[in-house]
């Protein structure tokens, strides 16, 4: 009986996939990647924009806590680093107000921009988006907290 089962199997030289079968599978995978890749990039861009909005909100809250403790927002010279390390002359600093300095970098790798006083508020906090240039839409849009 075992002799008969062995004779039904392929010979060892024919085991595996042919080059044509591999090319067909690679073609199907390439087609799927071509169709799905733009959709994944769109979701990734939206996620980065939402992350930047959340980070700006958290930094703004930290700035307000700093102002409560110190009587004013961090000076322009000290910048946002005053939320992580006490600037010189800040006697009532009770920080750190942010756990890590990495939180001061936007999802595209650029530092958040901080201006005190802001145009219409006590401070202005912004990121210029992926392109790091004013204006833009989608992932390139400016995100500003005033």
The predicted-structure confidence for 35-72, as pLDDT tens digits, reads as follows 777 776 666 778 888 889 999 999 999 999 999 999 88
**Residue 111 in contact with residue 125, Cβ under 8 Å?**
no
**Residue 122 in contact with residue 73, Cβ under 8 Å?**
yes
The yes-or-no verdict on residue 74 having pLDDT over 60 is yes
Q: How far is residue 86's CA from residue 118's CA, in Å, rounded to a whole number?
A: 22
Helix (H) or strand (E) holding 53: helix 19-70
Q: How far is residue 138's CA from residue 51's CA, in Å, rounded to a whole number?
A: 13
Q: What is the pLDDT of residue 124?
A: 92
| Residues 100-109: tens digit of each pLDDT | 888 899 999 9
Q: Does residue 11 or residue 140 have the better pLDDT?
A: 140
Positive or negative torsion for Cα 76, 81, 87, 91: positive
**Residue 93 in contact with residue 87, Cβ under 8 Å?**
yes
Q: What is the pLDDT of residue 41?
A: 67
The yes-or-no verdict on residue 111 having pLDDT over 90 is yes
- Rounded percentage of the chain residues whose pLDDT exceeds 90: 26
């Amino acid at each position: 009986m075992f002799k008969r089962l062995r004779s039904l199997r392929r010979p060892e030289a024919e085991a595996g996939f042919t080059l044509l079968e591999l090319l067909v599978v690679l073609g199907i995978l390439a087609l799927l990647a071509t169709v799905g890749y733009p959709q994944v990039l769109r979701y990734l861009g939206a996620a980065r924009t939402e992350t930047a909005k959340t980070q700006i909100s958290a930094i703004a809250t930290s700035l307000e806590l700093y102002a409560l403790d110190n009587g004013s927002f961090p000076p322009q010279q000290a910048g946002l680093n005053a939320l992580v390390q006490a600037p010189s002359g800040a006697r009532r600093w009770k920080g750190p107000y942010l756990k890590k300095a990495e939180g001061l970098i936007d999802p595209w790798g650029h530092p958040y921009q901080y201006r005190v006083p802001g145009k219409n508020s006590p401070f202005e906090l912004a990121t210029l988006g992926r392109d790091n240039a004013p204006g833009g839409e989608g992932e390139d849009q400016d995100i500003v907290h005033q």
